[in-house]
Amino acid sequence: MKHKIQKVELFVGVIVLLGGLLTYGLGVHQLLPVPRPDLVVYGTTLIGIILILMGCDIFSKPTKEMQILENDERNIAITNASLANAYKVTLTLLVLVLFALIFMGYMSKVVFFSIVGVIAIGQITWVITARYLDKNTS
């Protein structure tokens, strides 16, 4: 499962990076109906590089000791507990920052609905994953 996600990250990163560079090379960035079309190239390039870096871990070969430690039930439980805690903290801080930006007047409608969409997708993914894992464990 982990390798599938990394392959998707790597593939999407390359597509976004090449799309951003082609956008600049073909001059399409001047035709896009966005307030700052010159930043589209920088944004897509940065997003592509980040996704590529997230997915390039697929090329590393784990040793036998690393595989044993990764599959140890105690380590898996500790990892899952820490990820759940980090998710709760991140979500809480994201919502607080979102409302702080709204009330200070720095938030536009597009950014607001983008962030709310990301939060909604994260929550939906969490609920679906929890139900799927609950069905498989019982």
What confidence tier does 79 reach under pLDDT thresholds 50, 70, 90?
confident
What confidence tier does 22 reach under pLDDT thresholds 50, 70, 90?
confident
Neighbouring C-beta atoms of residue 47, cutoff 10 Å: 16
Residue 69 has pLDDT above 70, yes or no: yes
CA distance 42 to 48: 10
CA distance 77 to 96: 29
Under 8 Å between Cβ of 52 and 17: yes
Residues 6+ apart with CB under 8 A from 47: 13, 16, 17, 20
pLDDT digits (tens, 9 = 90+) for 38-60: 777 788 888 889 888 888 877 77
What confidence tier does 34 reach under pLDDT thresholds 50, 70, 90?
low
What sections of 27-72 are H helices per DSSP? 37-55, 64-71
The pLDDT, as a whole number, for residue 56 is 82
